[in-house]
Amino acid sequence: MGHTVSSLATLVQGEVRGASDRLICNAAAIESAGPDAITFVLDESHVSRLEACRAGAIILNSKIAAGIAATEHTSLIVVADPHAAFQQILPQFRKIRGKPTRGISPQAYVSPSAKIGEDCYVGPGASIGDEVEIGTGCDIHPGAAIGPGCVLANDVVVYANAVLYQDVTLGDRVIIHSGAVIGADGFGYRFTDGRFVKIPQLGTVEIHEDAEIGACTTIDRGAIGPTIVGAGTKLDNLIMIAHNCELGKHNVFASQVGMAGSCTTGDYVRLGGQVGIKDHVRLNSGCMVGAKGGVHKDIPEGEIWIGYPATPEAEQKRLVFSLKRVPEMRDRVRELENQVKKLVKQIEELQSQDEARKAG
């Protein structure tokens, strides 16, 4: 099922350069696009990747198009926002699966005391506990387990086999991916008589509107009050958010981040993959931590920290730059020692001649 370059250009209100009747049957990234595929150039940084590009059509902006000509094999479509245009075209070449058929599977379990809103899907094997309240337009995929007392707002999606323990609340449009576990007990023990005795974790988890929680990410319930994920915050896969943490709005954490108990963040905080944050640390709004960083103190607003232990970026870069030169520095110190030894001898000589002269 193909589309001509001109029909695709019309779809995105773009200007065609080169052949407009070429048939396009697929959409792909620059490197993988073949002669029957359309691709796009995000910005200047991607121009160099065009060299070996074999795509039949390329979406780009007028600035980049100024430096590139259509060829016998490749047409251009010039638009204001190539990424948006590509996103608009891509579905033409993909099977887009709609939401699952509405209704509650006879193979789901729904507690008699649960309330489920209109226009919801509850898949086979899903389990909805006592006193759960689910709004309208929600999708609870197969095998997902919603513990007693949970409250889901509207248009929430819980993917297959994700788990909410009791009394978790999810805001509008929250997405919980498969394997995520929300509201397991925080890791709290009291050491008594040679053993660790569990401290009851009596708080909950609140995930606010538009947040998205990645596959196999775990967010523990608070010990006393709620663990909170702020509105619009996006957590990638395999992340650990420990009990009592309170994340602000529009944070973005890459996968495998680990955040120990009682940390708090402002808004727009960004963490790279595998970052670790010590308990009770405050990450202020707009700060960032580079991948694999290990943070053990508060980060001021807007700062970028990297390294383990993490420090401000400039400091760390200076440090890493210096450390790389340590082997060379060892050579220089050795050379200095030799020179100084020689100087010591020479001076002794001069001094002894001096003595001799005085004596003479």
Taking CB under 8 A as the rule, does residue 184 contact a copy of itself? Answer: yes
Residues 11, 53, 104, 199: which binds a copy of itself (CB under 8 A)? 199
Q: How far is the CB of 312 from a copy of itself (least distance, A)?
A: 13
Distance between CA atoms of residues 90 and 8, nearest Å: 10
Taking CB under 8 A as the rule, does residue 187 contact a copy of itself? Answer: yes
DSSP assigned state of 199: P
Residue number, 72 or 194, with CB nearest to a copy of itself: 194
From the list 122, 126, 130, 170, the residue with the least C-alpha distance to 148 is 130
Give residue 274's region: left, alpha or beta (phi > 0; psi -120 to 50).
left
Contact between residue 172 and residue 247 where contact means Cβ atoms under 8 Å apart: no
| Residue 16: Cβ-neighbour burial (10 angstroms; 0-12, 13-18, 19+) | buried
Residue number, 17 or 177, with CB nearest to a copy of itself: 177
Residue number, 4 or 308, with CB nearest to a copy of itself: 308
Using CB under 8 A, which of the segments 8-16, 58-66, 112-120, 313-321 binds a copy of itself?
313-321
Residue number, 21 or 348, with CB nearest to a copy of itself: 348
Q: CB pairs under 8 A, 24+ apart, for 59-64? A: 59/12, 59/14, 59/85, 59/86, 59/89
Count CB neighbours of 218 within 10 A.
Answer: 17
Residues 45-74 that bind a copy of itself (CB under 8 A): none
Taking CB under 8 A as the rule, does residue 22 contact a copy of itself? Answer: no
Contact between residue 268 and residue 287 where contact means Cβ atoms under 8 Å apart: no
102-128 burial by CB neighbour count: b if 16+ within 10 A, else e? eebbeebebeeebebeeebbbbebbbb
Q: How far is the CB of 231 from a copy of itself (least distance, A)?
A: 9
Residues 77-116 that bind a copy of itself (CB under 8 A): 83, 87, 90-91, 94-97, 105, 107, 109
Residue number, 20 or 93, with CB nearest to a copy of itself: 93
User: Which residues, 6+ apart, have CB-to-CB distance to 83 below 8 Å?
Assistant: 40, 42
Using CB under 8 A, which of the segments 26-34, 54-62, 68-76, 113-121 binds a copy of itself?
26-34
> Known catalytic residue: 243?
yes
Of 3, 141, 243, 250, the catalytic one is 243
Residue number, 78 or 310, with CB nearest to a copy of itself: 310
Q: In what order do the strands lie in the sheet with 37-40?
A: 15-17, 75-78, 57-60, 37-40, 26-27
Taking CB under 8 A as the rule, does residue 282 contact a copy of itself? Answer: no
Residues 283-302 that bind a copy of itself (CB under 8 A): 291-292, 294, 296
Using CB under 8 A, which of the segments 14-22, 56-64, 114-122, 216-224 binds a copy of itself?
216-224
Residues 320-339 that bind a copy of itself (CB under 8 A): 320, 322-327, 329-330, 332-333, 336-337, 339
Count CB neighbours of 246 within 10 A.
Answer: 18
Give the binding-site size for a copy of itself (rule: CB under 8 A).
111
Q: Residue 53: enclosing H or E segment and its boundaries?
A: none
The residues carrying an active-site annotation are 243
